[in-house]
Amino acid sequence: MIVATVALERPHAETYLSAGTTARSWLLTTDHKRIGILYMVSITLMFLVGGVAATFMRITLLSPGGGVVAMETYNKLFTIHGVIMVWFFLIPSIPSVLGNFVLPMMLGARDVAFPRLNLASWYIFLAGSLFLLWTVVTGGVDTGWTFYTPYSTQYATSRVVSTTLGVFIVGFSSILTGLNFIVTTHRMRAPGLTWFRLPLFVWSLYATSLILVLATPVLGITLILVTIERWLGIGIFDPALGGDPLLFQHLFWFYSHPAVYIMILPGMGVISELIPTFSRKRLFGYTFVAGASIAIAVLGFLVWGHHMFTAGMSTHAALVFSMLSYLVAIPSAIKVFNWTATLYRGAVSFETPMLYAIGFIGLFTTGGMTGLFLASLAVDVHVTDTYFVIAHFHYIMVGGMVTAYMGGLHYWWPKISGRMYPENLGRLAAMTIFLGFNLTFFPQYILGYLGMPRRYAGYPPEFQVLNVLSTAGASILAVGYALPLAYLLWSLRYGERAGANPWGGTTLEWTTSSPPPEHNFEHTPIVTHGPYDYVRGPQGD
Amino acid sequence: MANIRVADRHAPAPQFDDLVQQREAAALGMWVFLVTEVMLFGGLFTVYTVYRWLHHPAFVEGSHHMALIAGAVNTAVLIASSFTMAQAVQRAQRGLRRGLLGFLASTALLGVVFLGLKAYEYWSHYAEGLVPGSPWTYAGPHSGPLQSFFFLYFAMTGLHAVHLTVGVGLVTGLIVLARRRRFTAAYHTPVEVIGLYWHLIDVIWVFLFPLFYLIG
Amino acid sequence: MADRVSPTRTNLMVFIGLLALTLATTLIARVDLGVWHLPVALAIAAAKTLLIALYFMHLRWSPGLLGLVALGAVLWLAILLGGSMDDYATRIWLLPSGR
C-alpha cells in the first residue's frame, strides 16, 4: 500500500538556499545543510586531483616498459592518488556531505549539536587540503600513502612533511565531525524517536563516528612522530637506536584498518535507506543490521595486523589477527543477506539510486570475499603487495563506497537542491560506471594472482593485455563519473522541480519541503513508529 | 548583546530546546573529546610500552637521571590544582562568584608553577646533554635506547605541557568571563567542561610520573 | 556532570587521598619488588585515576552514558597496547623448525 505524498513545496517560500545569498552567508554559515554543500564542493575538487593521478598511472601502465612518466614520478602518482582518495575524498564523503545534510533531519533536529565546530571542521579540511595541494605543485611525495619507515623518515627526498602535516590537520576535521554526530544522535532526537526507531543511515553514521573519534588520534600522533623523526633526525623507529620500524606499522594500521570501515559503513548506511525505499518494503532484520554496524565498528579495531603478515610480525600475532579478520566479515555478510531478503517479494523499481544500490551489493560482496582470501595467512604470503590487494580494496572502496555515495547523492539530490536530475541520464551513468568499473578492476585480480606487484611502473610483457583492458575500463569509468558532474550541475538550473517526497520515503527528511527551510521543520516532529513502514507512512507528522 | 546582569537568565543556543539539553550535550561532547585525547597519548604510551619491554635496563638507567623531587612536587602541585578546579566548579554551581574567581585563579597559578618546574627540569637535562637532537653527549651504557627513553620523556611530558598550557589559557578565559558575571547557578557550563579537561591533564600526569620517575 | 554539588569536604578528602597515594607510590618505588614493580605502580595510578574520575569529574553522579564513554577510552587503549604487545612478546614463539 502506497501512501500518497503531498507536495509541500511552495516555490516562493524561504528555504535554506534562499536565506542569504552572499558569499559571507555561505562562508560563515553554521547551517549543517550549507556545510554539507561546502564539503561537497571541496571533496569533488580533491576527487578530481586524485583522479588525474590515477589517469596518468593507467596511461603509464599501458606498456610494460612504462616510459610515459619517470619511475620516480610514478611513485609520486600512486602516493598522491592514495593519500588524496583516502583522506580527502573517501573518508569525508558520505559523512561530511550526506551525513551533515541528512542526519539532523532524520533525527527531527534543527541542526547538529555544535554547529560552529561543524563549520570549523570544514575550514580545517580546507587547511589540510592546501598542504596537499602545495605538496603536489612543489614536487610531490613518493612514500606510498602508508608512509612506511625508514624510507619516509630517513631516505625519501620528496615532500613528506607537508603531506604528513596535511593529513594530520585533516584528521581533526574527521574527529570533530564524529564528535558532533555522536552527541547529536544521543541528545537531539525528536520526541518518540527511540534508538530502535532510528533510520539505519543514522546507525551507520553513529558507528562510523565511534571509529572516527577512537582511531584518528592515533594516526595523528603517529604522523607527528614521522614528522619529528624526519625534521629533527631523532631515530624513533630506527633500529640503530633500538627502535623498530614495525612499531610504526602497528600504530599506522591501528588507525588505517578501522579507517576502511569509516569509509564503508556510511556507504552501507545509504544502501540500507535505498533498498527499502525502492522495494517499498520494510528492511528485513532491522535490529541485526543496526547491531552489525556496531559490530563492524568494534571488530574492525581488532584486525590491523593483517596488513603486516609478511612484515616480520610474530607468528602468534599473525594467527590471532588472521582469525579475527575472518570474524569481522560476519557482520558485513549479515547486512548483505538482509538487504537481499528485503528485495525478495518487494515492489522493486529501478530508478538511478536503486541501480547504484544493487551494483553496490554485488561489487561489495565480491570485494569483501576477496578480503577473506587475504585474511588467510598462506594465501596472503602469495598475493600481498600485488594487484590482487589493489583489486580487493578498489572493489570495496570504488565499487562499494563511491557507488553508494553516487546512489545517496542521487537519492537526496531532490531534497538538497529542490530539483530532479534527468532520470535517463542517471541510469545511463550508473550502468556506464558499473561496466567501466568491472573492466578496470576485474583484470587486476588476475594480474595480482599471476604475480604483478603493486607500486611498479613496469611489468613483464605477458601482463600487457590485462593492463590494457584495465586502462580501457578506466576511461569508461571516467566518462561514467563525468556524466553526473555535468547533469547534476545542469539540473540546478533546468531540472524539474521536486516535491517534498519524490521517492515515497518514510524517514523524517521527506516530511519537509525540498529544499528544506533553514530550521528544517516548521514544528518539531513527534515520532510514533519506526522507519520503512510503508503501511503507516512517514515517521513524523 | 545586552549586558545582562539578571541572575539565571540565559537562553539556550538555537539548536537546543532548553539549557538542560545544552548542558548535557556539552558534557557528552567534552567526554568524547577526552577519549580522543586518551587515544592521542595512547600512541605514545604504546611506543613507551614496546621500548620499555625491549630495553628495560636503558629505561631503568633513564629513570635514575630524573629529578625525583621535582617530579613528586609537580605531581602534588597538579593534584592540588585538580582540587582547586573541583572547588571552582562547586562555587560556580552555587553561584558564588567570588569563590569561583579565587579557585580559578589558584588553578591557573598552580598550572604555571608546574610548567615552571618542568622548564627547570628540561633545562637541566639540556645542560647534561641528555636531549636527543640537540647535542646528545651521554657516553655511558645503553646510549642508543637511552635516547629513545629521553625522546619519549620529552615527547610525552612535552605534549602534556602543551595541553596544560592550553588549559591554563582556558582557565584564564574563564576568569575573564566570570569577572564579567557571565556565570550563574543556572548557567556555568564552560566551567564544568573545562574542569573535565583539566582533570584529564591531571590523570595523564598521574601515569607519566611513575612511568618516567619511578622505574626500578 | 550532574546537578549534584560536590561538597568541599568530599573534594578535600579526595585531595588528601590523592596526595597519600602519591607518597605511597614514591616510597614503594624504593622497595625491590622485582616483577611486581610495574603492576603495583600502575595499580596505584589507576586508583588515583578512579578517585579523580568518580569525584572530581563527577562520574559518580553522572548519567551512565558518560561512564561508558570513560570505560571506552580505557578499553580502546588496552586494545592498542594489547595487540601491539602480543607481537613483541611472542616474537620468539612458534618459530619454524630450524631456527
Name the minimum distance, in Å, from the CA of A266 to any CA of chain B. 20
Pick from A213, A212, A203: nearest CA to A507:
A203
Name residue B151's amino acid.
F
CB pairs under 8 A between A and C: 45
Domain residue spans in chain A?
31-189+198-511
Nearest-angstrom CA–CA distance, A196 and A194: 6
Nearest-angstrom CA–CA distance, C51 and C72: 18
Question: Following DSSP, what letter does each residue of A116-133 receive, concatenated?
Answer: HHHHHHHHHHHHHHHHHH
Chain A residue with minimum CA distance to C75: A214
Above 90 in pLDDT, residue C97?
Answer: no
Inspect the interface and report whether the beta carbons of A182 and B50 lie closer than 8 Å. no
Residue A376 in grid coordinates: 588467510
Q: With contacts defined as CB-CB under 8 Å, which chain A residues touch B56?
A: none
Which of C79, C87, C91, C95 is best to mutate for the A interface (most A CBs within 10 A)? C87
Chain C contact for B24, CB < 8 A?
Answer: yes
Q: With contacts defined as CB-CB under 8 Å, which chain A residues touch C91?
A: 314
Kindly state the DSSP code that residue A386 receives in the 8-state scheme: B
Could you check whether the bond before residue A515 is cis, i.e. omega within 30 degrees of 0? yes
CB-CB neighbours of A28 under 10 Å? 12
CB pairs under 8 A between A and B: 101
Angle between helices B19-54 and B189-213 (to 10 degrees): 10
> What backbone phi and psi angles, to 5 degrees, belong to A419?
-125, 150
Name the minimum distance, in Å, from the CA of C66 to any CA of chain B. 7
In degrees, rounded to 5, the angle at the alpha carbon of residue A171 between the alpha carbons of residues A228 and B44 is: 45
Q: Given A218, A242, A247, which is nearest B39 (Cβ)?
A: A218
Chain A residue with minimum CA distance to B33: A179
> What backbone phi and psi angles, to 5 degrees, belong to B48?
-55, -50
Nearest-angstrom CA–CA distance, B163 and B111: 11
Output A488-496 pairs: Cβ under 8 A, ≥24 positions apart.
A488/A409, A488/A413, A488/A421, A490/A422, A491/A413, A491/A417, A491/A419, A491/A420, A491/A421, A491/A422, A492/A417, A492/A419, A495/A417, A495/A419, A495/A420, A495/A421, A495/A422, A496/A419, A496/A420
Above 90 in pLDDT, residue C99?
Answer: no
ipTM (interface pTM): 0.94
Which of A103, A118, A189, A221 is best to mutate for the B interface (most B CBs within 10 A)? A221
- Contact (Cβ atoms closer than 8 angstroms) between residue A138 and residue A159: yes
User: What pLDDT does residue C96 have?
Assistant: 72
Chain B residue with minimum CA distance to A31: B15
Query: Counting Cβ atoms within 10 Å, is residue A21 exposed (0-12), middle (13-18) or buried (19+)?
Result: exposed
Beta bridge partners of A453: A386
Q: Which residues neighbour A133 within 8 Å (Cβ) at sequence distance 6 or greater?
A: A49
User: What pLDDT does residue B109 have?
Assistant: 98
Name the minimum distance, in Å, from the CA of A183 to any CA of chain B. 6
Pick from B33, C83, B168: nearest CA to A254:
C83
Q: C-alpha distances in angstroms, A326 versus A261, A372, A376? A: 15, 6, 8
Name the minimum distance, in Å, from the CA of B65 to any CA of chain C. 15
Question: Following DSSP, what letter does each residue of A501-524 receive, concatenated?
Answer: -TT---SGGGGS-SSPPTTS-SS-
Domain residue spans in chain C?
1-62, 63-99
Nearest-angstrom CA–CA distance, B90 and B84: 10
Name the minimum distance, in Å, from the CA of A397 to any CA of chain C. 25
Q: Given A246, A254, A320, which is nearest C86 (Cβ)?
A: A320
Above 60 in pLDDT, residue B6?
Answer: no
Q: Given A112, A114, A236, which is nearest B151 (Cβ)?
A: A236
**Which residue ranges of chain A lie beneath pLDDT 70?**
1-12, 541
Inspect the interface and report whether the beta carbons of A186 and C65 lie closer than 8 Å. yes
Question: Following DSSP, what letter does each residue of A95-122 receive, concatenated?
Answer: IIIIIHHHHHHHTT-SS-S-HHHHHHHH
Chain A residue with minimum CA distance to C94: A315
Q: With contacts defined as CB-CB under 8 Å, which chain A residues touch C68?
A: none
Range with lowest mean pLDDT among A257-261, B135-139, B198-202, C36-40: B135-139
CATH homologous superfamily, domain A31-189+198-511: Cytochrome c oxidase-like, subunit I domain (1.20.210.10)
Q: Which residues neighbour B11 within 8 Å (Cβ) at sequence distance 6 or greater?
A: none
3-state secondary structure A433-491: HHHHHHHHHHHHHHHHHHCCECCCCCCCHHHHHHHHHHHHHHHHHHHHHHHHHHHHHHH
Inspect the interface and report whether the beta carbons of C26 and B42 lie closer than 8 Å. no
Q: With contacts defined as CB-CB under 8 Å, which chain B residues touch A233?
A: 133
3-state secondary structure A288-352: HHHHHHHHHHHHHHHCHHHHCCCCCCCHHHHHHHHHHHHHHHHHHHHHHHHHHHHHCCCCCCCCH
Chain B residue with minimum CA distance to C6: B90
Chain B contact for C15, CB < 8 A?
Answer: yes
Residue that the C-alpha cell 575550514 belongs to: A123
Angle between helices B189-213 and B68-93 (to 10 degrees): 160
Name the minimum distance, in Å, from the CA of A236 to any CA of chain C. 16
Chain B contact for A223, CB < 8 A?
Answer: no
Pick from A9, A30, A5, A8: nearest CA to A19:
A30
List subunits contacting chain A, requiring 3 or more Cβ pairs under 8 Å.
B, C
Inspect the interface and report whether the beta carbons of A305 and C83 lie closer than 8 Å. yes
Inspect the interface and report whether the beta carbons of C83 and A302 lie closer than 8 Å. yes
Inspect the interface and report whether the beta carbons of B210 and C42 lie closer than 8 Å. yes
Chain B residue with minimum CA distance to A174: B36
Helix (H) or strand (E) holding A38: helix A32-60
Which of A218, A250, A251 is best to mutate for the C interface (most C CBs within 10 A)? A250
Q: With contacts defined as CB-CB under 8 Å, which chain C residues touch A247?
A: 84
Has domain B22-213 been given CATH number 3.10.129.10?
no
Which of B33, B36, B51, B193 is best to mutate for the A interface (most A CBs within 10 A)? B36
Q: Given B15, B29, B55, which is nearest A179 (Cβ)?
A: B29
Q: In C1-99, where does DSSP find H-type helix? A: 8-28, 37-51, 64-89
Chain A contact for C63, CB < 8 A?
Answer: no
Q: Which residues neighbour A72 within 8 Å (Cβ) at sequence distance 6 or greater?
A: A142
Chain B residue with minimum CA distance to C67: B31
Residue that the C-alpha cell 578501522 belongs to: A258
**Whether the predicted model's global pTM rises above the 0.80 cut:** yes
User: What pLDDT does residue C98 have?
Assistant: 60
User: What pLDDT does residue C33 have?
Assistant: 87
Q: With contacts defined as CB-CB under 8 Å, which chain A residues touch B131?
A: none
User: What pLDDT does residue A12 have?
Assistant: 57
Q: Given C5, C76, C88, which is nearest B54 (Cβ)?
A: C88
Above 70 in pLDDT, residue C16?
Answer: yes
Q: With contacts defined as CB-CB under 8 Å, which chain B residues touch A113?
A: 15, 25, 29
- Contact (Cβ atoms closer than 8 angstroms) between residue A373 and residue A379: yes
> Which pLDDT tens digit goes with each residue over B17-75?
999 999 999 999 999 999 999 999 999 999 999 999 999 999 999 999 999 999 999 99
Inspect the interface and report whether the beta carbons of C76 and A320 lie closer than 8 Å. no
User: What pLDDT does residue A132 have?
Assistant: 97
In degrees, rounded to 5, the angle at the alpha carbon of residue B57 between the alpha carbons of residues B53 and B60 is: 95
> What backbone phi and psi angles, to 5 degrees, belong to A132?
-65, -40
Which of A315, A322, A325, A377 is best to mutate for the C interface (most C CBs within 10 A)? A315
Residue A441 in grid coordinates: 578492476
Q: Given A110, A182, A220, which is nearest B14 (Cβ)?
A: A110
Name the minimum distance, in Å, from the CA of A214 to any CA of chain C. 7
User: What pLDDT does residue B9 have?
Assistant: 52
Beta bridge partners of A497: A419
Query: Counting Cβ atoms within 10 Å, is residue A75 exposed (0-12), middle (13-18) or buried (19+)?
Result: buried
Domain residue spans in chain B?
22-213
- Contact (Cβ atoms closer than 8 angstroms) between residue A212 and residue A219: no
List subunits contacting chain C, requiring 3 or more Cβ pairs under 8 Å.
A, B
Kindly state the DSSP code that residue B174 receives in the 8-state scheme: H
Chain C residue with minimum CA distance to A255: C80
Q: C-alpha distances in angstroms, A468 versus A52, A199, A443, B10? A: 18, 43, 9, 67
> Which pLDDT tens digit goes with each residue over B134-158?
888 888 888 889 999 999 999 999 9
User: What pLDDT does residue B178 have?
Assistant: 97
Inspect the interface and report whether the beta carbons of A222 and B25 lie closer than 8 Å. no
Residue A285 in grid coordinates: 532484520
Name the minimum distance, in Å, from the CA of C40 to any CA of chain B. 10
